[in-house]
Amino acid sequence: MRWLIAIEGVSENQYLEDLLKKLDISIHIEADETYITSNQWDSLESWQAWQKAAFLQNLIPEINNSLSFTLKSICEYKENRLCLPVVFGHIVAQAQPARAYGSITVTEQIPTSEEEISILKLEQEKLEDAYQDKLVQDSSRILLILQDERARKIHQFLHQELNAYHMYNIIQLIEEELEISEGLHGRGRSLLTKILSINKTKLTRFYESVNHPYVFGNDARHIAKKDKPPENEPMYLDEARLFTLQVANSWFEKKCSENYQSFIRHSEP
């Protein structure tokens, strides 16, 4: 390890620690200070390592809003000792309860009989399965956003105001990716309905509505459009936002599943 970034908010939050491990980031504790470090940062300059950690600091709460941590300073580890830190400043984030592991809260129970022990064991197994599933879900999405420019753009649009322009771009980026991956240029809409199981009528209503000033007014993509109102039932803003989120989440699930299965195959001996 070379760069160690002092942080607040990770101590005693097991889920966040486990999530960081999935991202090849480890926790290092020295002199009562908690640091994160990664071998991936060794070849970087200090500001580059800080930049990557800062991106994760912002990204992780967007993927799982029960998690957060705060960057404090960055130090270089030389000859088995820490050098003086280069302080970039504090980035404020909300602290979270230490026992909240993502969306799974751990509670302690004291069994009193064999039946209760058996029931508790099953419950603990279910909690552990849910915990691991959540870890895979969160880490897969974070890794996809870090590695894939298209996923990063879609994620950024989702966390801006979901207006007609941003929603249209999200759907277009997804259609284009499906066309490329399937080798079927110009078939984005049909691939969207086939591969992601998106309702064809809803997709038509979406496009007619976000493009038309009759539905979206001055926010419509084609503000000068003089056609008659859409033949299908208009899809107004709230429904269009829900539809966009449905499409985006379906696409992210598909891509994360593909990436995870690829990772498993390459990890097998």
Nearest alpha-carbon partner for 210 in 194, 230, 226 = 230
User: Helix (H, G, I), strand (E, B), or coil: what is residue 77?
Assistant: strand
Domain positions in the chain: 3-101, 148-267
Question: Tokens 């039946």 correspond to what residue?
Answer: 115
Q: Which range has highest mean pLDDT (69-83, 97-111, 219-233)?
A: 69-83
pTM of the model: 0.72
Confidence bin at 263 (pLDDT 50/70/90)? very low
Q: What is the DSSP string of 146-183?
A: HH-HHHHHHHHHHTS---HHHHHHHHHHHHHHHHHHHT
Q: Are 144 and 259 in contact (CB under 8 A)?
A: yes
Give the span between the Cα atoms of 88 and 86, in whole angstroms.
Answer: 6
Pair of tokens at residue 179:
């066309």
User: What is the DSSP-derived secondary structure letter of residue 212?
Assistant: -
Return the bridge partners of 76, or none.
3
The better pLDDT of the pair 81, 228 is held by: 81
What share of the chain has pLDDT > 70, as a percent?
A: 75
The better pLDDT of the pair 167, 261 is held by: 167
Q: What is the pLDDT of residue 101?
A: 35
Q: Which range has highest mean pLDDT (46-55, 72-81, 84-93)?
A: 46-55
CATH class of 3-101: alpha beta
pLDDT tens sequence across 128-150 = 888 888 898 899 999 999 999 99
Question: Tokens 């004291």 correspond to what residue?
Answer: 110
